[in-house]
Amino acid sequence: MIKDHNIIYFGPEKWEGMWRNRHQLMSRLATLNKVIYVEPRITLRRLRRLLSDKKKRKELFREYKRSRVRRISNNLFVYESPWFVPIFGRSPFRNLSWWIWRSIFKRDLNKLKYIKPIVWVSRPYMIHFIGYFNESIAIYHVVDEYSAYGELTKDEKQNKIELELKLIKKVDIVIVVSQELYDAKEKQANKILKDILKYRI
């Protein structure tokens, strides 16, 4: 039983929308822990579209002044990633944007007194969130074979596989939701990592 912990869950989508496994899981964990669901960052392309619309532009600037944290229930919060720090470009600009975003988030997190949190990620690219919050445990939650998404080229697929392997090596626990994913990740992992793949839901 996970109890009396601070949990940061980095979501792949906004909190609002279809109720999914992650909503159920974080809502249940919030009965005994303090949980913050972090919504994904906006892309530069989407930001450009929003800024080109006068009505949307006004909404964005109103949102700039309000708190980025909202309470869903007693111990469950949602963090809206700041729109003014979009994902863009290649290194070093992409890395710089990640650094700025993490600095803002850590400042906002300190106000909520999240000390030595459990950091919970759900996509390979979220490796950028591991190791920056003095976390007690880092968890990678696998619900699908992400390298099979969309019309990926051979190189793009290989890049996703390699990024996921780096993430698996960096976290403490890997959770999978099916025997097929368990078998696939066990084959990808080295001997040490096979031991942590036994944690399943």
Same domain flag for 121 and 156: no
Give the containing element (helix H, strand E) for 119.
strand 118-121
Query: Is 95 part of any domain?
Result: yes
Tallying the residues shown for the chain, one arrives at 201
Same domain flag for 70 and 99: yes
Residue 106, both tokens: 């850590």
pLDDT digits (tens, 9 = 90+) for 83-110: 888 887 677 778 888 888 888 898 888 8
Q: Following DSSP, what letter does each residue of 37-89 receive, concatenated?
A: EEPPPPBHHHHHHHHHSHHHHHHHHHHHHS-SEEEEETTEEEE---TTS-B-S
Separation between Cα atoms, residue 158 and residue 144, nearest integer Å = 16
Same domain flag for 105 and 169: no
Query: Is 103 part of any domain?
Result: yes
Alpha carbons within 13 angstroms on the beta-carbon side of residue 167 total 27
In Å, what is the CA distance from 126 to each residue of 29, 75, 138?
21, 24, 11
Same domain flag for 58 and 111: yes
pLDDT digits (tens, 9 = 90+) for 31-87: 999 999 999 988 888 888 878 877 777 777 776 666 689 999 989 999 998 888 888
Nearest to 122 by CA among 199, 8, 1: 8
Final residue before a domain boundary, out of 135, 162, 188: 135
Same domain flag for 11 and 44: yes
Residue 103, both tokens: 């600095």
Same domain flag for 17 and 102: yes
- SS3 readout for 129-184: HCCCCCCCEEEEEECCCHHHCCCCCHHHHHHHHHHHHHHHHHCCEEEECCHHHHHH
| Tokens 């979501």 belong to residue | 11
Domain hosting residue 157, numbered range: 151-201
Q: How confident is the model at residue 127 (pLDDT cuts 50, 70, 90)?
A: very high
Query: Is 105 part of any domain?
Result: yes
Query: Is 140 part of any domain?
Result: no
Same domain flag for 130 and 158: no
Alpha carbon 83 to its chain centroid, in Å, reads 16
Q: How many domains does the chain have?
A: 2
Same domain flag for 111 and 155: no
